Amino acid sequence: MRSRFATPLAAAALAVPLALGIAAAPAQAAPADKPQVLSSWTQTSASSYNSWVAARSNQGSWSTYGFDWSTDYCTTSPDNPFGFPFQMSCARHDFGYRNYKAAGSFDANKSRLDDAFYADLKRVCTAYSGLKRTSCEASAWTYYQAVDKLG
């Protein structure tokens, strides 16, 4: 009589944690092309920047990739120094830093990320002319030097 109840009791005992959601679900791996997508969004070109902006505005479509989209923008520096809108450039720079650090390949990519940041900042400056553009480019150079040396 004891063996007749043992099997159903054991099965019931195993089913309770599953029904309560206690058993860990297997972790979903990021798509195999995650490194390529990350690389494509962190290049110096305007098309790379534009692709990243489009993806950022539709982050839900990229949720399976597990990207870190968080940002503190330009950290302790002004996001819009002298009225120059550097905020999105800083956000993309944060994206690159955070995701390459998470991937364990930050050191191999830092220089390119900083160069892409500088290219983004310089593209902001193309909207200006004369002394205002010169001032913007000087600000961009200062921001670039800060991340290059301290980032």
Q: Which two tokens stand for residue 77?
A: 């520096």
Return all residues near 100 (Cβ < 8 A) that are at least 6 apart: 38, 42, 106, 109, 110, 113
Q: Is the per-residue pLDDT at 12 higher than 70?
A: no
Asked if the model's pLDDT at residue 84 lies above 50, the reply is: yes
The answer, yes or no, to whether residue 151 has pLDDT greater than 50, is: yes
12 φ/ψ angles, rounded to the nearest 5 degrees: -65, -40
What's the pLDDT tens digit per position in 104-116? 999 999 999 999 9
pTM of the entire structure?
0.81
d(CA 127, CA 101): 33
Rounded distance between C-alpha atoms, residue 149 and residue 111, angstroms = 10
Superfamily of domain 30-150: Phospholipase A2 domain (1.20.90.10)
Secondary structure class of 131 (helix, strand, coil) = helix
Q: How confident is the model at residue 29 (pLDDT cuts 50, 70, 90)?
A: confident
Which residues are identified as catalytic? 93
Query: 66 pLDDT exceeds 90?
Result: yes
Q: Does residue 6 carry a pLDDT above 90?
A: no
Task: State residue 2's pLDDT score.
Answer: 46
